[in-house]
Amino acid sequence: MENIYPIHVDGKSFLIAAVFGGQTGLVNALVHRGADANTRGNDGMSPLNLASRKGFTDIVRILLDNGADIESKDHCGRTPLYNAVLCEHHDIVMLLIERGADVNTQHACRTDGASYLLIAAFCGHTDVVRALVSAGADVNLQRNNGFSPLSMASQEGHVDCVKLLIQHGAEVDTQQQWCYTTVLGRQERSH
């Protein structure tokens, strides 16, 4: 029988290559034959990190069912949840939360203390913001510079995110929340 475990092509195991190509059946076969669900490529990315980034929900599920580390980080510190949040893969965000991913992690990829919720709010990913706050993400968790999810959503003009964060208890009277009234005022003027 051929050894499918440690063989690497350009620093990628067969499992990582299968994940990269979105080959659900092959990923399933490889992990069921003993491929390490926590193997790493040269960039430190695990199969779960990659599947979360690329939006392969079924592959994420297979990897989690076969022991993949839900909090695995690549060389830059990106976790599977970080990748799913940034790329707006709502189904994967929900799956990772359901399986126990920490929704209040800071410094996931960056050294400025950005939380997953702050990233989702900054990007205007309303459904992801909703999923994170429903799972208990701290709506007032600030970056190292004092900016919160509300201030970032406000700065970028993401009115639906602003409203959602306020509905879930975001503080509107902190020093860094100066953008809030401008965004809502802009929306009110446009109607």
pLDDT digits (tens, 9 = 90+) for 75-112: 888 899 999 999 999 999 999 999 999 999 876 555 67
**In a 3-state reduction of DSSP, which class is residue 13?**
strand
Q: Tell which residue, 149, 143, 145, has the closest CA to residue 171.
A: 149
Q: What is the pTM of this model?
A: 0.84
Place 118 in a pLDDT band, splitting at 50, 70 and 90.
very high
Q: Tell which residue, 190, 180, 127, has the closest CA to residue 149.
A: 180
Helices within 5-88 (DSSP H only): 14-20, 24-32, 47-54, 57-65, 80-86
Q: Report the pLDDT averaged over residues 6-22.
A: 76
Residue 59 has pLDDT above 90, yes or no: yes
Distance CA 152, CA 158 (A): 9
Distance CA 69, CA 79 (A): 10
Question: Tell me, what amino acid is at 53?
Answer: R
Q: Tell which residue, 159, 162, 118, 111, has the closest CA to residue 142.
A: 118
Q: Report the pLDDT averaged over residues 128-153.
A: 92
Place 138 in a pLDDT band, splitting at 50, 70 and 90.
very high
Place 144 in a pLDDT band, splitting at 50, 70 and 90.
confident
Least confident interval from 22-26, 157-161, 168-172: 168-172
Residues 150 and 172: beta-carbon distance below 8 Å: yes
Provide the pLDDT for residue 159. 97
Place 2 in a pLDDT band, splitting at 50, 70 and 90.
very low
Proportion of the chain above pLDDT 90, given as a percent: 67
Domains annotated for the chain, with CATH where assigned, are 1-75 (1.25.40.20), 103-191 (1.25.40.20)
CB atoms inside a 10 Å sphere around CB 172: 16
Least confident interval from 79-93, 110-124, 165-179: 165-179
Residue 39 has pLDDT above 80, yes or no: yes
CA-based radius of gyration for the chain: 19
Q: Tell which residue, 73, 81, 83, has the closest CA to residue 45.
A: 73
